[in-house]
Amino acid sequence: MKNLKMFNKRQVILAGLIVMIAVAGYVNLNYQDDIAMPASSTVTDIQTSTPEDDYFTTARLEKEKSRSAAMDIYRELISSPQSTSDVKEKAQGDLSASAKALENEAILENLIKAKGFDNVVVYISEGGANVIVKTTGLVPAQVAQIKDLVIEKTKITSEKIKIVEIK
């Protein structure tokens, strides 16, 4: 019975993720470029010694590896007979939060790319969001577009969003 419950939960979560990806694709195709919001943030410039595409590829792989390892630990805690119900409950909550963050990161990366940026990596944590974009120079309108997307999707406040530019 317990395995049946978990299987049903997994199906619901998988179906929810598929729907969110479909919605993100739809929004990517139809999202307007005319967002005009004043930007009052500082954009950090980073010069890399390796090609930019290698940076983004490496960053995505490292993010995926670390998130996957954390999710595996949460799953082990949930399925362990030695874990108390409080530990299992906390691990389940953390697992759900990690899955939601992963989903939001992927959606935001696609939405930001749809705005004309060549490459982007988004990191979402409890403390805020970091957005790393490949560009030759961000203008305030682009910063505002990126912040607007992050705020809309995650409800993170503007002050907790950091945008890093990689040239």
Residue-wise pLDDT for 17-33, tens only, equals 666 666 565 555 555 44
Is residue 48 over pLDDT 50?
no
User: What pLDDT was estimated at residue 21?
Assistant: 67
The residues near 33 (Cβ < 8 Å, ≥ 6 apart) are 115, 116, 145
- Enter the pTM of the model: 0.64
All domains of the chain in start order, with CATH: 2-166 (1.10.287.4300)
Mean pLDDT for the chain overall: 79
- pLDDT greater at residue 10 or residue 110: 110
22-31: which pairs have CB atoms within 8 A and are 24 or more residues apart?
A: 24/106, 24/107, 24/110, 24/111, 25/110, 27/111, 28/110, 28/111, 28/114, 29/114, 31/111, 31/114, 31/115
Identify the residue with better confidence: 164 or 33: 164
Judged against a pLDDT cut of 80, whether residue 9 lies above it is answered with no
Q: How far apart are CA 59 and CA 71, in angstroms?
A: 18
Q: At 13, is the secondary structure helix, strand, or coil?
A: helix
- Size (the chain), residues: 167
For 30-43, the pLDDT digits (tens) are: 554 434 344 444 45
pLDDT of residue 27: 56
Q: What is the pLDDT of residue 150?
A: 94
Average pLDDT over residues 100-117: 92
Q: Is the pLDDT assigned to residue 90 strictly greater than 70?
A: yes
